[in-house]
Amino acid sequence: MANNIDTAIKVKAVALDFDGVITNLDIDWNAAIRQASSIVGHDIKSLITFYENNFGTPIFQKVSTEMEKIELDALRKAQASPFIGEFLQKLSEKQVEVYIVSMQSFNVIKKFLEQHGLTGYFKGIIAREKCPSKKAQVECISKETRSSLNQILLVDDSKRNISNCKELGLVCFYFQRKQSSKETREAWNKILNLLGAT
């Protein structure tokens, strides 16, 4: 997916996805979905769709709590993406507000940021307990920062999220989940370039 972005944009807030951008969680999602299916008593095809359709219900809470255990376990081995500290430092110098938008749990993300000394770089963590979809999450940032959606830059490794959020008018940057540290550094630099933050 090419990142052809209009460089004339004025971005006020950056929304970073967590798994696939800030870190890579090593989770067997097929096994996790089987476990979630056994909790609800029927087959779940996608956890994302399940969370969206069951937001605010007791079964959402039950599944979310069990999935959080798996996610917390994966944190033990999770590394921060290469050069993310430098990238976040440059964003903070540019005074861009940075958020995490993720379908992982709030506790998982909070704990990861603490473990890696990254907490102070983020204005907010918008996780599944607060908003049940990426679309709802970026709309929440738009409200909080009083920005229009075309002033928010989303960085995500999911083509589906990128395409949904592009439709909403967001500036989107597709981030490769698996790439060399050189490629990761180039991706951060491209993002900084389009924010005029280099």
To the nearest 10 degrees (0 to 180), the angle between helices 58-75 and 106-115 is 20
Between 60 and 175, name the residue whose CB sits nearer to Mg ion.
Answer: 175
Candidates 20-28, 61-69, 81-89, 181-189: pick the segment binding Mg ion (CB under 5 A): 20-28
H/E element, 140 = helix 134-145
Contact status: 71 vs Mg ion (CB under 5 A): no
Between 42 and 152, name the residue whose CB sits nearer to Mg ion.
Answer: 152
Count of residues engaged in binding Mg ion, rule: CB under 5 A: 4
- Can you list the positions of beta strands (E) in 50-148? 97-101, 124-126
Candidates 14-22, 87-95, 168-176, 187-195: pick the segment binding Mg ion (CB under 5 A): 14-22
The minimum distance between CB 175 and Mg ion, in angstroms, equals 8
The minimum distance between CB 189 and Mg ion, in angstroms, equals 20
Strands 171-174 vs 124-126: parallel, antiparallel or unpaired:
unpaired
Contact status: 132 vs Mg ion (CB under 5 A): no
Provide the phi-psi class of 161: left if phi over 0, else alpha when psi is between -120 and 50, else beta.
alpha
CA 88, 122, 155, 176 torsion-angle sign: positive
Q: How far is Cα 71 from Cα 27, in angstroms, rounded to an integer?
A: 7
8 Å CB contact between 21 and 81: yes
> Which of 11, 13, 16, 19 contacts Mg ion by CB under 5 A?
19
Candidates 13-21, 23-31, 34-42, 178-186: pick the segment binding Mg ion (CB under 5 A): 13-21
Contacts of Mg ion in 134-193 (CB under 5 A): 157
Contacts of Mg ion in 22-61 (CB under 5 A): none
The minimum distance between CB 64 and Mg ion, in angstroms, equals 17
Contact status: 17 vs Mg ion (CB under 5 A): yes
Q: How far is Cα 135 from Cα 162, in angstroms, rounded to an integer?
A: 10
- Where along the sequence are the contacts to Mg ion (CB under 5 A)? 17, 19-20, 157
